[in-house]
Amino acid sequence: MSATQFDAIVVGSGISGGWAAKELTEKGLKVLVLERGKDIKHGQDYRGEHAPSWKIPFHGMPDREQNERDYFVQSSSYAFSEATRQYWNNDRLNPYVRSEEKPFDWFRSDVVGGRSLLWGRQVYRWSEQDFNANATDGHGIPWPVSYEEIAPWYSYVEKFIGVSGQAENLPQLPDSEFLPPMDYYEIEKTAKARINKKMPHIPMTIGRVAILTEEHNGRAPCHYCGPCQRGCSTGSYFSSQSSTLPAAQATGNLTLMPDQVVERLDHDASGTRITAVRTINTQTGERSIFSAKLFFLCASTLGSTQIMLNSTSEQHPNGLSNRSGALGKYLMDHLQMIHLGIMVDDVNSYYEGNRPNGLYIPRFRNLTGQDEDADFVRGFGIQAIPMRGDWQTTFNSKGFGADYKASLKKPNPMWIWALSAFSECLPQAQNQAYLHASKVDRFGIPQLATEFEWGANERALANDTGKQAAELFRAAGAVYYITNDESNMETGGGAIHEMGTARMGDDPTQSVLNKYNQAHEIDNLFVTDGSFMTSASCVNPSLTYMAFTARACDYAVKQLQAGHYG
Amino acid sequence: MNRREFLQCAAVFAAGASSIPTSWALSNEQSRFLAGQTNYIDRKPLTYFNAAQRAAVTAAAEQVIPATDTPGATDAGVARFIELMVADWFNDAERAMFDAGLADLLARANGDFAALSGKQQLQLLEQLEAEAGDAQWYNLGNVTRVWDSEAPFICQFKELTVLGFMLSEVGGTQFLRENPMGSFNGSLALAEDDSAYAAELPMRMLSAETGL
């Protein structure tokens, strides 16, 4: 192979790209990271951090006009506000084709660090049962990787990122390498004690989060300001900006280029090896070509899929490494269902600090084979968040003057307990992303089109989350509760856990990647964002992307050192 | 940097030196940025209302949230918030509803609401509230939408007054209180007259997505 500009090119600087950059540079490779979004600097550009409501436009009320014009998808996220707008994709400038009949919401960041700045920070290991699920019940194709194989890589990334949590020794939710857990609210202690008594088969633990509870790798512990998604100057939650990119930078081997949208990848005459990346500068329109020996796509599930679909050639007429036809198909998310209970216990207990975390109820359905009363396969986990009502829940009452004012002063004598269930989604071929036949973006790149519908299994899961939530509320002593069912399901993509469109498998006729995230048909191409996921589990996925990315980097560099890419 | 910004920066740095552990202080750049940011209500001149309208809005907001042993709407600059929100944030239909309602209020006050006695002002507002009695705005739980576009003038007015007060610097620090940062304690006794914490973001922003 002729001399290349870089040893490796990583596309994307989010959770996966940051990890690829760190691992590859630390192994001595000269690495170029290409990021579509604009450059922002850790700390100094977190413009919303610690901003009080009175310094935010409209006191923080959403700018409806601008949102409808420029952020019509992004603005529906809980993490989107005037204080975080700068991190999000402009939907008008960077569109995709969202099917009206089968809509899928694509949440995207547009800055260096990607959604690692905006993520929910909840981290849970997959279990042995999760990796066996497809093989066991026949939905999707079998995973080519076992829990045993990935467990050391979970430990490896956890030790770097820092995970606070409580060891519970549960087979369905293996413990991580933990920093001390966060504290409970009094109302949570009450609810947990009652549930333990009445529903002893249901475990409950403090949320496991990539937020530090003590100093770790030079980063300060959390100071409990609350809205992490505004950015954290102290790096107390894990992001590429706070952790992996600085580690990569420290090696002297990193080149980071923002404002570079990747149009496509080029390969050699054989069609089995990528030679270069073609980019367009989003600010100047300038086109560039960068060459390397290794290529890592970490552009997010749909971003990487779009690049692979757009890199067609004689040898890859349907997109890179797509002889199986699986590329773009089997799009998954998690189905989030929120149920609300009102509790009037512990109303004289308040709190200090904002804990950016909740309790977690690990999966308890279908744990050993199929529950007799379950009309679905797989299961769900529940994130439980307590909220204290205040003037914001009582202002629309009659009256004026001193009495009305006084009625708005104190916390309300009740707690709202929100049970947010995340259900596993089955892989289905008709849930897919593909290149639109005629629509292109401002750079001339074909737009991605999406089609997504929840299936019968997800609808049954949705209903069961409501039934189980009602039992939990009753056991916890809630005085009132509202549960949701399949008539009120969120649009796909809403959990921002999109995955699966370049799945891995041992069988190249059914999958795009092998067990090392390496493209079956192209030996120097690795894809390590959510697109490799063969099934979805019900737990938050980012930790698994990190573990697989680190493992893929280890494998790729060993291949390189063995002369396979010479 | 002008003198006022300099003083604000100095205040932030002084506070940082005395009470904020450096391990979680903001970056210097963000500290300077925040200190240099004027409050939303003071960022631009007011141009939407005429003098009589502005005086009426100021007086009516003080009737909704008066100064008591704590500051009231006037102290918090609520009228400025209302004028900015009506001019810049409302859509055309909401603005038309507000404008007509304010004109009606002024007409009932013979053109000068602010000149009425406090008692007369209150009576007029209570009259408007009685007339709006069955508006959905008053429905239990109708609090988590971003905005109730059907809200009649008096309801629009009360809601803007509440948001303008509770989310202001005066309301957030002298009526409500700031949640101290640094650690988390989930079991803290709530005293009889303890106020709620200031909101860092309106709760409805969370609720719009979750359907709470």
| Chain B residue numbers touching A74 (CB-CB < 8 A) | none
Amino acid B200: pLDDT: 79
Give B193→chain A minimum CA distance, Å: 7
Q: In the structure, what pLDDT confidence band is assigned to residue B22 with cuts at 50, 70 and 90?
A: very low
Amino acid A187: pLDDT: 98
Amino acid B25: pLDDT: 62
Cα A385 to its chain centre, rounded Å, is 19
For residue B10, the SS3 value is: helix
CB atoms < 10 A from the CB of A183, how many?
19
B68-100 residue pLDDT tens:
999 999 999 999 999 999 999 999 999 999 999
**pLDDT > 90 in chain B, percent:** 70
Which pair of structure tokens corresponds to residue A209? 């989060």
- Tell whether B127 lies on the interface with A, counting CB pairs under 8 A: no
A22-75 residue pLDDT tens:
999 999 999 999 999 999 999 999 999 999 999 999 999 999 999 999 999 999
Mean pLDDT of B13-33: 56
Query: Is a pLDDT exceeding 90 seen at residue A507?
Result: yes
Amino acid B150: pLDDT: 95
C-alpha distances in angstroms, B40 versus A18, A53, A532, B147? 36, 9, 45, 19
Query: Is a pLDDT exceeding 80 seen at residue A159?
Result: yes
- Tell whether B203 lies on the interface with A, counting CB pairs under 8 A: yes
DSSP A439-504: EE-TTSPEEEEEE----HHHHHHHHHHHHHHHHHHHHHT-SEEE---GGGPPPBTTTS--B-TT-B
| Chain A residue numbers touching B120 (CB-CB < 8 A) | none
| Chain A residue numbers touching B139 (CB-CB < 8 A) | 396
- Of A392-406, B17-31, B79-93, least confident by mean pLDDT is B17-31
Cβ <8 Å between B65 and A405: yes
Cβ <8 Å between A352 and B183: yes
- Tell whether B149 lies on the interface with A, counting CB pairs under 8 A: no
- How many whole angstroms separate alpha carbon A308 and alpha carbon A303? 9
**pLDDT > 90 in chain A, percent:** 98
Amino acid B207: pLDDT: 52
Spatial neighbors of B101 by CB under 8 A, at least 6 apart, are B128, B152, B153, B154, B156, B157
A312-349 residue pLDDT tens:
999 999 999 999 999 999 999 999 999 999 999 999 99
Cα angle A326, A332, A334; round to 5: 165
Cβ <8 Å between A396 and B142: yes
Amino acid A239: pLDDT: 98
Give A347→chain B minimum CA distance, Å: 8
Amino acid B31: pLDDT: 84
Cβ <8 Å between B210 and A402: no
Give A482→chain B minimum CA distance, Å: 10
Predicted TM-score (pTM) of the model is: 0.94
Q: Which of residues 92-121 of B touch A (CB under 8 A)?
A: none
| Chain B residue numbers touching A419 (CB-CB < 8 A) | none
Amino acid B203: pLDDT: 75
Cβ <8 Å between B205 and A81: yes
Sorted by where each starts, the structural domains of chain A and their CATH numbers stand as: 1-162+238-333+428-452+498-566 (3.50.50.60), 166-232+335-423+455-488 (no CATH)
- N-term to C-term CA, chain B: 44
Interface test with B, best of A350, A355, A398 (most B CBs within 10 A): A350
Amino acid B14: pLDDT: 37
Alpha helices in A293-411 (DSSP H): 301-310, 401-407
Query: Is a pLDDT exceeding 70 seen at residue A309?
Result: yes
Token pair 């949590």 is at which residue?
A165
Q: How many residues does chain A have?
A: 566
B80, closest residue in chain A (CA to CA): A58
Of B162, B190, B209, the CB nearest to A349: B190
Mean pLDDT of A402-424: 96
B148, closest residue in chain A (CA to CA): A396
B26, closest residue in chain A (CA to CA): A233
Query: Is a pLDDT exceeding 60 seen at residue B23?
Result: no
B120-167 residue pLDDT tens:
999 999 999 999 999 999 998 888 889 999 999 999 999 999 999 999
Give A551→chain B minimum CA distance, Å: 33
B102-113 residue pLDDT tens:
999 999 999 999
Mode of pairing for the β-strands spanning A254-257 and A31-34: parallel
Mean pLDDT computed over every residue of chain A: 97
Query: Is a pLDDT exceeding 90 seen at residue A214?
Result: yes
Cβ <8 Å between A392 and B202: yes
Mean pLDDT of B10-36: 57
Amino acid B205: pLDDT: 67
CB of A153 within 8 A of CB of A550?
A: yes
Query: Is a pLDDT exceeding 80 seen at residue A205?
Result: yes
Mode of pairing for the β-strands spanning A446-451 and A97-98: parallel
Of A49, A406, A484, the CB nearest to B30: A49
Cβ <8 Å between B199 and A392: yes
Cβ <8 Å between B158 and A233: no
- Tell whether B41 lies on the interface with A, counting CB pairs under 8 A: yes
Cβ <8 Å between B34 and A50: yes
Amino acid B6: pLDDT: 36
Amino acid B143: pLDDT: 87
Q: What is the amino acid identity at position B205?
A: M
Evaluate the CA torsion angle A115, A120, A122, A127 in order and state its sign. negative
A140-155 residue pLDDT tens:
999 999 999 999 999 9
Cα angle B181, B21, B3; round to 5: 90
Of B33, B40, B88, the CB nearest to A54: B40
More confident residue, B20 or A463: A463
For residue A359, the SS3 value is: strand
Q: In the structure, what pLDDT confidence band is assigned to residue A231 with cuts at 50, 70 and 90?
A: very high
Cβ <8 Å between B81 and A59: yes
Query: Is a pLDDT exceeding 50 seen at residue B7?
Result: no
Cβ <8 Å between A223 and B39: no
- Tell whether B26 lies on the interface with A, counting CB pairs under 8 A: yes
The values of phi and psi at residue A550, to 5°, are -60, -40
Token pair 């089955």 is at which residue?
A426
Query: Is a pLDDT exceeding 90 seen at residue A368?
Result: no
A31-43 residue pLDDT tens:
999 999 999 999 9
SS (H, E, C) B155-168: HHHHHHHHHHHHCC
Cβ <8 Å between B179 and A354: yes
Give B131→chain A minimum CA distance, Å: 12
Q: In the structure, what pLDDT confidence band is assigned to residue B206 with cuts at 50, 70 and 90?
A: low
For residue A423, the SS3 value is: strand
More confident residue, B206 or A231: A231
Alpha helices in B78-147 (DSSP H): 78-84, 92-108, 118-131
Cβ <8 Å between A352 and B37: no
